[in-house]
Structure 1
Amino acid sequence: MTSPVRLALLGCGTVGSEVVRLLHGQAADLAARIGAPLEIAGIAVRRLGRDRGDLPVDPTLFTTDALGLIKRDDVDVVVEVVGGIEPARGWLVEALRAGKSVVTANKALLAEDGAALHDAAAEGGGDLYYEASVAGAIPLLRPLRESLHGDRINRVTGIVNGTTNFILSAMDATGAGFAEALEEATELGYAEADPTADVEGFDAAAKAAILASLAFHTRVGAADVHREGITEVTAADVASAKAMGCTIKLLCIAARGADAAGREAVSVRVHPAMIPLGHPLASVGDAFNAVFVEAEAAGPLMFYGRGAGGAPTASAVLGDVVAVSRNRLAGVRSPSESAYADLPVRPMGEALTRYHISLDVADRPGVLEAVAGVFARHDVSIATVRQGPAGGGAAGRGEDADLVIVTHVAPDAALAATVGELRGLDIVRSVASVLRVEGGL
């Protein structure tokens, strides 16, 4: 055994505490796998006096001086599980420029300014690993970065937020509305007291940017991702999806294809969508995550597991710690960032998708013809039409009727323009809902 690999741990909350426990409980195995023991040089926290229960760590290791801990000469690897943009960005840039290896679970920072971290890693010659930033314990980023490096990935579709997946699964199973399902998720600990980052899609958008960057060898940031949350999904939408043999999921979709000028480009988006029950992602329930990767040579690949929580995330963090520690002992570093393709990011309007549109219309002759004319003017082809009495009541002509239309694939801008014109028709009482349809229905 050689000298220990010394770790600076930034943060000791839910994930950080689990990292400490795993380091303590698996010390012998980790040392055998690495070829040297792992030691904690220090733990940076906000408050020294906080009760941390029976955490198996020397209390003298705690400090509020994160930057001072990072700068210590006896620190080899910096593990960051604090989250947020600042001061984490400054800490990690400092560590990387000094040649230290960094393991982080900070999806928000990677999506906001991953370029600064990668540039600092290249400057200092250390490793930057971040498996825990997307989908918790699921081995996903390293396969994209390494195992599939010889292949061409064309599309990545994923459920990458456990909170929203729990909510939508509960709505599907019980018929509850969004508010009721969110309340249940909060009571069970799946949703934060402020669930905005989850239900409005910010969390999933950050993860989508990271996945797209790795899959397409292009720097993609959070600002490049089209984002919509699930707060507008209703029990009626869920029922309509069931009637079509579908379910609703919050999807992150990153795809490679030609832009309006015919150049190769990528599109990255997060939004709720209907997917057919036969799609591999349709059966992913509760707070689980799953990512479906479509590669040219490898074909379709599915990654599934728990995407959040202290223990699963800590497992991914420790896996990265083992990898960077081995590299340091061997005097090598992992492959640097691969952003050679530098593909442009297509605007959402160019993304090819399908719409499910529910209309409350006047129940009189000529309505269907008028509505179909709007679709034709925007060069959007209709796949199916279902018409019935308003509110699903008894048959027979009344003042209003429900009209449900599913389109063929078209540019999102054309579909949005179609919906915009429909809203202006006097025969359309309201556009009750608009949802995209994905997955080859």
Structure 2
Amino acid sequence: MKVMIIGNGGREHALAWKISQSPLVEKIYCIPGNGGTFNENKCENVYIDNIHDIKEFAKNNNIALTIVGPEKYLVEGIVDEFEKDSLKIFGPDKRASMLEGSKSYAKNFAKKYNVQTPEYSVFNKLDDAIEKIKEVKYPVVIKADGLAAGKGVIIAKNYEEAEKALYDFMENKIFEEAGKTVVIEEYIEGYEMSVFVLVDGENYKIFQTAKDHKKIFEGEKGPNTGGMGAISPHPLLNETLFENIKQKIIKPTIKGIKEEKSNYKGILFIGLMIKNNEPYLLEYNVRFGDPETQAMLPLLENDIAKIFLKTVEGKLNEVELKWKNKVSCCVVAASNGYPGKYEKGYEININTEEIVFHAGTAIKDNKLITNGGRVLSLVTMEDTLEKAQEKAYEEISKISFKGIYYRKDIGKL
């Protein structure tokens, strides 16, 4: 069959790499793809970006299955459009995508269905939000309501930082319309965990866990990024915690999705804060995470094309997931200056045999060049986390481009 993957990041290259291993798949169209998918087995990059043209391409090229990478297309309703023409597509509809598209919707959903989550208030007037931060306990979390490329969350240590965040979001509109409504949330001290759940509208399967490293600098310092590295599975997951996550987070979430009559056939990414083995929902994402996907997919032994088809067809109960008994470490190499201003167009040299997933890369004059903030990620798999880390840093030193930057502490807890 022919498959289409929408998106141009490391997550989409990882999906293309994994899907290309399926004997069911003869051709993969990457919309628009990147320098990595350009050279990937069975893949062809196609430069179209609006939903109407993507749908027409799917119809004209007999695409059997479409996988949506970025949240933007899901929130804009690409699934609804495809389903009007009975085209198979992996991802939730526009209504269900509000779980990621609006932080206030997600928090209200969690409250309604008893999903354990930090206390919060929602504001769409700056003056009211300012009054709130005069009385809160610090630190406090301030979130832009809409999509902000993973950068719309500030942990304010004091009133001054909270006030600056509110002015930036609501008045200076650094995230445009995404920040006109804000969520002010209780800060919970603990450690983060990403949990991925396959949902087929009726059944669910816990896919995998991971730990993301969001900040640009070592020790989780500096501004937020889209993610500077990940490890999988999460090393601190234990049986008690796993049971708590199922009972207090996943089951009520699935119940809520059904009761809201949302059409959800895809992956649900649940961002958690863990304190004393108790999970608290921080956010929902309605797609695979980046760079968690790059860390997780090499560990999967199943044919992922088959898993995606079963999910779309509502037959997840027929799937038994199989994982390698290994630990993966994914380190992201970024352009100097990211997540602020950075230059691109520098030649990339890769001299490692380990798995490398491309993100901000392109092909120009037959050369691989930098074309984004997060340029690529290198993934290693070993029997222990320590070995995977050691190997990752040994191997990423064999990749070079002008201004290469990566954190040296991915996987250190």
TM-score by length of 2: 0.33
Q: Which has the larger strand fraction?
A: 2
Q: Which has the larger helix fraction?
A: 1
Higher Rg of the two aligned structures: 1
